[in-house]
């Protein structure tokens, strides 16, 4: 079983990395980019039957820092 964890900065948390990417895109001549936020994708290969509660606990205890980040779990077969 695979799960993909998307970790993103909460709204209102400054993202210097996203801002640098934004500037670089503009430097390449791409107009019309309103904003850029950078995040992380963590792919987990899990034993079948791993509970949703366990995956959620992994996110809360380590994969995301919930002071500054949100996470979203996407499970694939």
Residues near other proteins (CB under 8 A) are 13-17, 19-20, 61-63, 65, 67-68
Nearer of residues 62 and 76 to other proteins, judged by Cβ: 62
Of the pair 62, 77, the CB lying nearest other proteins is at: 62
- Residue identified by tokens 């509660």 is 53
Minimum CB distance to other proteins, residue 16 (Å): 4
Output 67 or 77, the one with its CB closest to other proteins. 67
Query: Rounded to the nearest whole angstrom, what is the least distance from the CB of residue 77 to other proteins in the complex?
Result: 27
Q: Are 6 and 71 in contact (CB under 8 A)?
A: yes
**How many Å apart are CA 21 and CA 32, to the nearest integer?**
14
Alpha carbons 55 and 45: distance in angstroms, whole number: 11
CB of 69 to other proteins, least distance (A): 8
Q: d(Cα 57, Cα 66) in Å, to the nearest integer? A: 12
């Amino acid at each position: 079983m695979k799960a993909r964890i998307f970790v993103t900065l909460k709204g209102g948390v400054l993202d210097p990395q996203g801002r640098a990417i934004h500037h670089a895109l503009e430097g390449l001549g791409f107009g019309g980019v309103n904003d850029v936020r950078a995040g992380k994708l963590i792919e987990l290969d899990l034993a079948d039957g791993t509970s949703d509660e366990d995956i959620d606990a992994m996110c809360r205890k380590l994969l995301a820092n919930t002071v500054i980040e949100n996470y979203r779990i996407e499970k694939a077969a």
